[in-house]
Structure 1
């Protein structure tokens, strides 16, 4: 299953030394993904995905966010942000395809 959405990159400061950049998967898509991935024994509730942003495609995992909305979050690594010339606060079109289901 493939999901395409526009989302803003945001910064999560987990620790003083590390910063992580994410996009949030919309609520409706997150709900569908949760239903499809139900019962999969993956660490931290992660779901394997193939992601495309602009001309960059990579494999990673999405994770349940800590917010009350229950949306998944997608980490966007520095190499992708650099290749696509995007940064925190920018809105980007993101395509995620579920894999390993």
Structure 2
């Protein structure tokens, strides 16, 4: 299951700052349809993603009926991404 979408990098401040790109509503609805097959527990969904030239593996976090794509420093730093930046995402859900 492959997706391409654009979104704004958001920051969540917890014990340490975390950065995410919210998955749009329609794409989140499509992912929910296969969530039981894809999730390995806790509702997280394993994905392969690409932002710019950086490809990475991670897991989507469920949030308020949608999903958040986590952005580690290894993804943000090479592209100087920070909160408020608009990014284009290519993503494949690992089933």
TM (norm. structure 1) is 0.87
Query: Given the alignment, which residue of 44, 48, 72 partners 1:77?
Result: 72
Larger Rg: 1 or 2? 1
Runs of 5+ unmatched residues, structure 1: none
Q: Distance in 1 between matches of 2:82 and 2:26?
A: 25
Q: Distance in 2 between matches of 1:30 and 1:42?
A: 17
CA RMSD of aligned residues (A): 1.3
**1:9-40 residue CA offsets vs partner (Å, 9 max, x unmatched):** 0100122xx11000100011001001012255
Aligned runs of 1:13-92 on 2, under 5 Å? 13-15=13-15, 18-38=16-36, 42-65=40-63, 67=64, 70-92=65-87
Runs of 5+ unmatched residues, structure 2: none
Across the two proteins, how many residue pairs are aligned to each other? 95
TM (norm. structure 2) is 0.92
